[in-house]
Amino acid sequence: DTGVSQDPRHKITKRGQNVTFRCDPISEHNRLYWYRQTLGQGPEFLTYFQNEAQLEKSRLLSDRFSAERPKGSFSTLEIQRTEQGDSAMYLCASSWEYEQYFGPGTRLTVT
Amino acid sequence: QKEVEQNSGPLSVPEGAIASLNCTYSDRVSQSFFWYRQYSGKSPELIMSIYSNGDKEDGRFTAQLNKASQYVSLLIRDSQPSDSATYLCAEMGGATNKLIFGTGTLLAVQP
């Protein structure tokens, strides 16, 4: 098992563009989470899937953000009409029960 | 608002000493607690989980939980320069699977 993987690792985009990130969880994990982390802060929860069902969304997840996990495997996080305030590290984690393991993250820079 | 509080540091200890990292939380129903290590520019790495009152030891690491005082700590024995990182404390509430993180404590181990 190679752990949680995320793609791309870095993304630079212009304000107003749409971006999509992908996360592949550890294969036997049925739970998948998205977090966002800015400099000097701990990760902030965005959303959570159990299998293909999205069970919880943070109010941080505005209408411009959408996440999917088709067939309960990989997940995508899309940000539409990006803003400079969206610049952050986007982290994906997966778990079987309580212990969450993070991927390497996608660093988004909005110019 | 549920909160996890940590001293941001930096906490500086000499090589070979015991590093003591502390965390308090506000949600009395929190059941599960985690310590993550995060090197600069990298994603968080799970190092300890603790679910019941008392101590839990794993190698050079000991996590301590006191639910009555709403206090979690992490002790690192025989600190090494490679332990220099930000240590994030996180709690998981009873009815949700999301992690709530503190802002982290920066540990610097001096050779």
Task: Dump pLDDT digits (tens) for A52-81.
Answer: 999 999 987 889 999 999 988 999 999 999
pLDDT at B3 over 70: yes
Mean pLDDT of chain B: 94
Residue B92, classed as helix, strand or coil, is strand
Cβ-defined contact of A45 to B42 (cutoff 8 Å): no
**Confidence at residue B1, expressed as pLDDT on a 0 to 100 scale:** 63
**Confidence at residue A53, expressed as pLDDT on a 0 to 100 scale:** 93
**Confidence at residue B60, expressed as pLDDT on a 0 to 100 scale:** 98
Chain B CA closest to residue A98: B97
Cβ-defined contact of B101 to A42 (cutoff 8 Å): yes
- CB of B48 within 8 Å of any CB in chain A? no
Q: What is the mean pLDDT of residues A4-20?
A: 98
- A32 CB neighbour count, 10 Å cutoff: 28
Mean pLDDT of chain A: 95
- A21 CB neighbour count, 10 Å cutoff: 21
- C-alpha B1/C-alpha A107 separation (Å) is 28
CA angle A68, A43, B12 (to 5 degrees): 155
- CB of A40 within 8 Å of any CB in chain B? yes
> Does residue B44 have a cis peptide bond before it, meaning omega lies within 30 degrees of 0?
no
Residues of chain B neighbouring A56 (CB-CB closer than 8 A) = 96-98
**Confidence at residue B94, expressed as pLDDT on a 0 to 100 scale:** 63
Residues of chain B neighbouring A41 (CB-CB closer than 8 A) = 103
Cβ-defined contact of B43 to A91 (cutoff 8 Å): yes
Measured between CB atoms, which of B32, B51, B101 is closest to A43?
Answer: B101
Chain A CA closest to residue B8: A40
Q: Residue A88, exposed/middle/buried by CB under 10 A (0-12, 13-18, 19+)?
A: buried
- Strand B61-66 to strand B71-76: parallel, antiparallel, or no bridges (unpaired)? antiparallel
Residues of chain A neighbouring B99 (CB-CB closer than 8 A) = 33, 35, 43, 45, 100
**Confidence at residue B104, expressed as pLDDT on a 0 to 100 scale:** 97
The confidence band for B28, taking pLDDT boundaries of 50, 70 and 90, is confident
